[in-house]
């Protein structure tokens, strides 16, 4: 029970203090599950991110479910999933009506103008952190470059990009 509470509280903290969606949450998720609790290694964390990206649903919920399951089975998966979503659910429920009244206010718009660059910074930080573990050799850098061009320039669908990367990885490794 102690472990389930720890999983729930850890992911509640992540859900409460992370803004900008799953990618922006990755630095905090990594900090908590790799460094603070050592539930996963850095390599396992990169694998979790890959799995969370490939599966339907929000990245943070997928990651919390996977980590919770690894640490404490089905009960851990449930604790992590509920933990990461509960704060947002409560806040959105309580603030939705209030926000609709202030969403067009100059101050509200100014706050979001300030938050957007911070979210980008968090996403870039996550990318650099994952890159340190994901780029194991020049082949992995090459795969990333091919997929970057495919998605960024050629507008390749993300699912096709993942499948293509898997095929390339199976071929070269």
pLDDT per residue as tens digits for the range 84-94: 999 988 988 88
pLDDT exceeds 90 at position 58: no
**Per the domain annotation, does 28 fall within a domain?**
yes
Share of the chain above pLDDT 70, in %: 99
pLDDT exceeds 90 at position 20: no
**Per the domain annotation, does 134 fall within a domain?**
no
Select from 46, 56, 68 the least CA-distant residue to 131: 46
User: What average pLDDT does this structure show over 30-54?
Assistant: 91
**Per the domain annotation, does 38 fall within a domain?**
yes
Please give the Cα distance from 126 to 76 (Å, whole number): 24
Share of the chain above pLDDT 90, in %: 56
CA dist 159 to 100, 108, 121, 165, Å? 35, 36, 25, 10
Counted domains in the chain:
1
**Per the domain annotation, does 147 fall within a domain?**
no
**Per the domain annotation, does 14 fall within a domain?**
yes
pLDDT band with cut points at 50, 70 and 90 for residue 18? confident
Per-residue model confidence (pLDDT) at position 103: 83
pLDDT band with cut points at 50, 70 and 90 for residue 173? very high
Per-residue model confidence (pLDDT) at position 123: 85
pLDDT exceeds 80 at position 76: yes
The whole domain housing 87 covers: 2-102
**Per the domain annotation, does 121 fall within a domain?**
no
**Per the domain annotation, does 144 fall within a domain?**
no
Per-residue model confidence (pLDDT) at position 88: 86
pLDDT per residue as tens digits for the range 79-130: 999 999 999 889 888 888 788 888 888 999 999 899 989 888 988 988 888 8
């Amino acid at each position: 029970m102690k472990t389930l509470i720890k999983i729930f509280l850890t992911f509640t903290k992540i859900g409460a203090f992370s803004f900008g969606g799953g990618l922006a949450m990755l630095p905090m998720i990594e900090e908590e599950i790799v460094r603070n609790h050592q539930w996963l290694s850095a390599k396992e964390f990169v694998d979790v991110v890959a799995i969370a990206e490939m599966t339907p649903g929000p990245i943070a919920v997928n990651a919390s479910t996977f980590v919770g399951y690894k640490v404490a089975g089905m009960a851990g998966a449930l604790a992590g999933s509920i933990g990461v979503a509960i704060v947002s659910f409560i806040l959105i429920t309580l603030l939705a009506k209030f926000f609709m009244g202030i969403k067009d206010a100059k101050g509200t718009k100014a706050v979001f103008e300030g938050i957007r660059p911070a979210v980008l910074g968090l996403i870039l930080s996550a990318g650099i952190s994952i890159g340190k573990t994901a780029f194991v050799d020049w082949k992995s850098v090459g795969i990333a470059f091919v997929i970057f061009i495919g998605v960024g320039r050629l507008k390749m669908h993300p699912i096709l990009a993942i499948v293509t990367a898997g095929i390339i990885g199976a071929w070269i490794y």
